[in-house]
């Protein structure tokens, strides 16, 4: 698949990490958009059409779990691909809640270098389009 047709939404309030993920994925040719808080993220996710969403759990205005909850109540206009939680929390309870509300995976932000992030993202996209 042509990477430029793959739309990825990065939801991350940390400016450094948001820029890092955006540059990393843009350099791979993906069409990348970003949201810095949960309200903006929910609006973009409700529009839908994302091939992959990287969703931080801890966000200003509305956290990642509340976004998933709201999407269950009112789904997107166009389907989204996998929603992958970004977290530094090693909290199984929160991760399990995210899975029960539709998340398909998670990345521990502090544990991954750029190559590992790309490997994980390619894997999620392949599974979605498999």
Q: Find the CATH number of the domain harbouring 42.
A: 3.40.50.2300
pLDDT in tens, the chain (130 residues): 588 899 999 999 999 999 999 999 999 999 999 999 999 999 999 999 999 999 999 999 999 999 999 999 999 999 999 999 998 877 789 899 999 999 999 998 888 888 999 999 999 999 887 6
Identify any residues that bridge with 110 across adjacent strands, giving them in sequence order.
none
Does residue 129 lie within any of the structural domains? no
Does residue 50 lie within any of the structural domains? yes
The pTM of this model reads: 0.94
Does residue 103 lie within any of the structural domains? yes
- CA–CA gap between residue 56 and residue 64 (Å, rounded): 6
Domains in the chain, number: 1
Beta strands (DSSP E) in 4-122 are 7-11, 31-35, 52-56, 83-87, 105-108
Does residue 114 lie within any of the structural domains? yes
Q: Residue 34: which domain range? A: 3-123
Does residue 130 lie within any of the structural domains? no
């Amino acid at each position: 698949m042509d990477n430029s047709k793959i739309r990825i939404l990065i939801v991350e309030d940390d400016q450094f990490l948001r820029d890092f993920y955006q540059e990393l994925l843009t350099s791979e040719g993906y069409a990348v958009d970003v949201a810095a808080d949960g309200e903006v993220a929910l609006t973009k996710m409700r529009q839908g059409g994302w091939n992959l969403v990287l969703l931080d759990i801890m966000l200003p205005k509305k956290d990642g779990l509340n976004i998933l909850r709201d999407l269950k109540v009112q789904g997107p206009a166009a389907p989204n691909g996998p929603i992958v939680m970004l977290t530094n929390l090693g909290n199984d309870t929160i991760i399990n809640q995210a899975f029960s509300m539709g998340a398909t995976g998670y990345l521990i932000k502090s544990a991954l270098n750029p190559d590992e992030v790309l490997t994980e993202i390619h894997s999620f996209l392949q599974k979605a389009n498999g």
